[in-house]
Amino acid sequence: MSAMAQPPSPVPPGQPVPPAPQCYRHPGRETWIACQRCGRPICPECMIPAPVGFQCPECVAQGARDTRQHQAAYGGLRSANPTVTSVTLIVLNAAVWALILLTGGYGSPWYHRLALSPTGSCVLAADPSRFLPGAGEAACGKLADLAWMPGVADGAWWQLLTSAFTHVEVMHIGFNMLALWFLGPGLERAIGRVRFLAVYLVSALAGSVLVLWLSDPLTTTLGASGAVFGLMGGFLVIGLKARANIQPLLFWLGINAAYSFLGSGISWQGHLGGLLGGMAMAAIIAYAPKDARARVQLIGLVGFTVVLLALVAVRIAQLQ
């Protein structure tokens, strides 16, 4: 039904008839139509059809400014330039890679501080790439030419995230950053900058958690692959929600999954954990109810992160 201005009540005989409302944008034009949003009278020239009734041009313009222009499809602010976040992440990865490369590569102390090691290791101070298997922190500290490099179980909790920014091989960082460049801006365009960063970082954390649980505690894991797989998982969920054609993504995901499980020296644990983490985060974002979207998303994202941290705490207790 159209929004109507209330007509005057019947006028008793002898009383003057009140004038009809006039369009607020065109004084002198009488009308009984009112804007559905603001209630002001509008003439046929100012009437813009709305889902219910009519709206005036000013309310339609304000609605567009409040929603379509600044809101992303799944809540939050739309990114003015969705490539900025991915470029920033690429620069951070490149800076850490350059630092490690310039300080010794696999022998760099930064490599051992930032890469993910479930447990600590006793390394040669002159060559950190060489270590003594089975030597604990107490025994390592007795000799001057040895140094103890802590792992997550020894308090180096930051490795759960810094490992996702750590690379040594050129091909490793090259492929990961190329994938980030292709995947990042598109996903940020769909879900906004804050939610994109949440998917990226929590996917990296989820990959580290699965490494912590399923990898050999003496191995060292590094690279942004878990976070990149998280972006692929996020795209998969968003594509399913939007009923888009996801066959190219499935093909690309299948090739990477096969490489993860069949290639030598590849952390399938980090890839799988990142993929599942990205899918979970994207599902929370995409399927949150519209009437309470921001609140449900916040509770879901924080809750999922807390679950991951709880799994880390349980695993650390087992490794100690």
pLDDT tens-digit series, residues 155-199? 899 999 999 999 999 999 999 999 999 999 999 998 999 999 999
| 290 compared with 138, residue with greater pLDDT | 290
Per the structure, the complete domain to which residue 276 belongs is given by 83-105+155-319
- How would DSSP label each residue in 89-104? HHHHHHHHHHHHHHTT
Note the pLDDT tens digit of each residue in 247-304.
Answer: 888 888 888 888 888 776 789 999 999 999 999 999 999 999 988 999 999 999 999 9
pLDDT reported for residue 137? 65
For residue 262, what is the domain's CATH number?
Answer: 1.20.1540.10
> Could you tell me the pLDDT band of residue 143, with boundaries at 50, 70 and 90?
low
Q: How far is CA 65 from the centre of its chain?
A: 25
Higher pLDDT: 257 or 91? It is 91
Is 163:209 a contact under the CB 8 Å cutoff? no
Give the three-state DSSP class for 21: coil
Clarify whether residues 242 and 297 are in a common domain. Answer: yes
pLDDT for the residue numbered 2: 42
Q: What is the mean pLDDT of residues 99-113?
A: 91
For 14-43, the pLDDT digits (tens) are: 666 567 789 999 988 888 888 878 889 999
Q: Is 148 contained in some domain? A: no
Element (H, E) at 315: helix 293-319
Output the six-digit token pair for 315: 């695993």
Q: What is the pLDDT of residue 126?
A: 61
Does any domain span residue 117? no
- Tokens representing 137 are 């922190």
Q: How far apart are CA 181 and CA 186, in angstroms?
A: 9
β-strand partners of 132: 122
The number of residues in the chain equals: 320
In this structure, the answer to whether residues 184 and 98 fall within a common structural domain is yes
Q: Which of 79, 121, 225, 267 is catalytic?
A: 225
Percent of the chain clearing pLDDT 90 (strictly above): 50
15 in any annotated domain: yes
Residue 179 shares a structural domain with residue 299: yes
Please tell me which residue in 86, 121, 203, 271 is annotated as part of the active site. Answer: 271
Share of the chain above pLDDT 70, in %: 84
What is the phi/psi pair of residue 17, to 5°?
A: -80, 125
Candidate ranges 22-26, 106-110, 140-144, 231-235; pick with highest mean pLDDT: 231-235
Top mean-pLDDT range of 31-40, 105-114, 141-150, 157-166:
157-166
Q: Is residue 143 part of a domain?
A: no
- Both tokens assigned to 144: 């001057």
Report pTM: 0.76
| Residue 225 annotated among the catalytic residues of the structure | yes
313 compared with 133, residue with greater pLDDT? 313
